[in-house]
Amino acid sequence: MKSRFAVAMVQIAVLLLASASIATAQTTYQPKFPGDPARSESEAGALGYMRTVLRAQHLYKKKYDKYATSLAALVHTGSFTKRMTNTERGDYTVSFRTHKDGFELTLTPKQMDATHRSFYAEESGVIHAEEDKAADENSPKVQ
């Protein structure tokens, strides 16, 4: 009887270790392309969103000789869709502000950590990031 119990406990331990290994493997971020700067799936989504907005703004400026004054104005420009005007983007919140000669786009994580950095971009198209505070034009560039 004791040996059956011992065998069952060993089997349970093996299953628990295998489950833990699988869970760890699933949480490791797999880059989407060579040189991908994202550190997590959430960051990959946030950076993809930023690139889409920046591209749409570039196309809008080329067509109208000015930048769009709202996210809604970018709908159907490039691959920017109506759904993308929603400022709640999963683990991130979008802020879009315009000024006389351009715009500022920020994505702020709901919980900031090493795999959920804040991002900032403006009309130059350069994306900046910070791990522990809101990103701005002085933050390190995303490589």
Q: Report CA torsion sign: 99, 105, 110, 113.
A: negative
pLDDT value at residue 107: 98
Average pLDDT over the chain reads: 89
- Residue 116 pLDDT > 90: yes
Tell me: the pLDDT tens digits for 9-57? 566 665 655 555 444 445 799 999 999 999 999 999 999 999 999 999 9
Strands of the sheet with 88-89, listed across from one edge: 88-89, 92-99, 102-109, 118-122, 127-130
What pLDDT was estimated at residue 18? 54
What pLDDT, on the 0 to 100 scale, is given for residue 24? 43
Q: What is the pLDDT of residue 23?
A: 45
What residue type is assigned to position 122 of the chain? E
Between the alpha carbon of residue 28 and those of residues 21, 23, 115, 117, the distances in Å are: 11, 9, 11, 16
- pTM of this structure: 0.80
